[in-house]
Amino acid sequence: MKKGDIILLFVLFVAILSSVLFIFLKPKAVECVVYENGTERYRYPLNEDLTVMIPTGDDHYNILEIKDGKANVVKADCANQICVHTAPISKVGDSIICLPHKLSFILESE
């Protein structure tokens, strides 16, 4: 094997390794999916800050805030306020449930 071949092999090896690493390390897009009564209603990417009012069927609301990669219910007019008191969620599988409004906010990967 010539010296040039070894360098070529090395360059190839590094190129393959970095593309494999890129695929594995690439962060998956996480979305906050809002379900009302088990039906998907809205989907918001977690990497874009936003504050949105989620209206429920019977003139009530929950206000969802997405900030710094976390989703949080900041305000709601439900009876028990459990959704408002739930800590912000940031990992896939995390959820915030509002039972009085039959709403669930679940983090899913695309």
- Region binding Zn ion by CB under 5 A among candidate stretches 5-13, 27-35, 40-48, 94-102: 94-102
Contact between 76 and Zn ion per CB under 5 A: yes
- Region binding Zn ion by CB under 5 A among candidate stretches 43-51, 63-71, 87-95, 98-106: 98-106
For residues 57 and 101, the answer to whether their CB atoms sit within 8 Å is no
For residues 84 and 100, the answer to whether their CB atoms sit within 8 Å is no
Q: What is the DSSP letter of 89?
A: B
Contact between 78 and Zn ion per CB under 5 A: yes
How many residues are given for the chain? 110
Contact between 64 and Zn ion per CB under 5 A: no
Q: Which two tokens stand for residue 97?
A: 């449930």
Footprint of Zn ion on this chain (CB under 5 A)?
A: 76, 78, 83, 98
